Amino acid sequence: MNGSPENRSSVSEFILVGFSTSQETQIFFFAIFFLVYVAIIVGNLLIIISVIVDSHLHSPMYFFLANLSFFDLCISSAATPKVISDFLRKYKTISWWGCMIQMFFMHFFGGGEMSILIAMAIDRYVAICKPLHYKTIMSHRVLTGFLLLSWVIGLIHSTSQMVFTVNLPFCGPNVLDSFFCDLPLVIKLACTDTYILELLVIVNSGFLSLICFILLLISYAVMLVTIWQHSSSASSKALSTLSAHITVVTLFFGPAIFIYAFPFNRYSVDKFLSVFCSIITPLLNPIIYTLRNQQMKAAIKRLSNQHIGSWLTP
């Protein structure tokens, strides 16, 4: 990659529009986003720590859930701290390299999370449709393979787009109508023909998300049919877990498909969908899994009681 603001572009920074509102409103949004980000950190760390320390959660499903929380934490941290600090600034800018790095990590962790969600669906499919072979199929080696594959897919997904984006020349407009750097918006500012790169983004981010979402919905439909054919308390528990998975998958893929499948004819609502993907979804995921999962609630309660007891013990 030989792209740099000095050699490839006269643009050294980008201006982020965000909310064009009064200073009082900016302070209000600063407080809201700050509290949401703290909740994201606390909620996802609680899940990660609970899965690590609680032996009741040492199973493939919770292994994937802990890694999902890690990816959620990383996606949010790639953009949210900058968004929060910008609410206190009159002029909201980000350097050329800062913008490129932000987009790389957003797509890197986004691609990894997409892979983890697919692995979670495979795990639930095996547990529901092939329960007798579950422990054999979902072995420690398979779990490690899924995790490594998610990191590799995230790297390929991000690098395949960014390797072309960093070499684009930016020689004029530098205003982004967003809270942070968004790949389709940045590409539109380049002073060259970006048709091929636009197609790459649509295929790599938009259509790929759409295809994965459709396949996941089909697999979940098969699992729901299997559950309905077996009326028992175990089936009720499986249905509750499955409903949480379906909700999280919809929250992740829905906005991503809307933003990236047709990204270059944008609507103002896309700005808010971008915030939803990077801030709201990482907040909702731990809430959904905690509220819908009795084992996770019990593990978090045990973890809390353990630490409270250690603090009270002289």
pLDDT on residue 259: 78
Measured in residues, the chain has a length of 314
- Look at the block and give the residue holding tokens 């792209």: 3
**Among candidate residues 241, 289, 246, 277, the one with its CA nearest the CA of residue 117:** 246
Position 264 scores a pLDDT of 54
pTM of this prediction? Answer: 0.87
Q: Please state whether beta strands 13-16 and 93-95 pair in parallel, antiparallel, or not at all (unpaired).
A: antiparallel
Q: For residue range 89-143, what is the model confidence (pLDDT) as tens digits? A: 888 899 999 999 999 999 999 999 999 999 999 999 998 888 889 999 999 999 9
Residues 6+ apart with CB under 8 A from 258: 270, 273
How far apart (Å, rounded) are the C-alpha atoms in residues 8 and 89? 28
Confidence (pLDDT) at 273: 76
Measure the CA–CA gap between 181 and 274, rounded to whole angstroms. 10
Instruction: List the Cα angle 307/311/313 in 5-degree steps.
Output: 115
Give yes or no for a contact between 34 and 97, defined as CB atoms under 8 angstroms apart: no
Query: Could you give the C-alpha distances from 136 to 100, 130, 148, in angstroms and in order?
Result: 43, 10, 19
- pLDDT for 6: 47
Q: Tell me which residues of the chain have a pLDDT lower than 50.
A: 1-7, 312
pLDDT digits 0-9 by tens, 153-162: 999 999 999 9
Please give the pLDDT value at position 38.
Answer: 96
pLDDT given for residue 312 in this prediction: 47
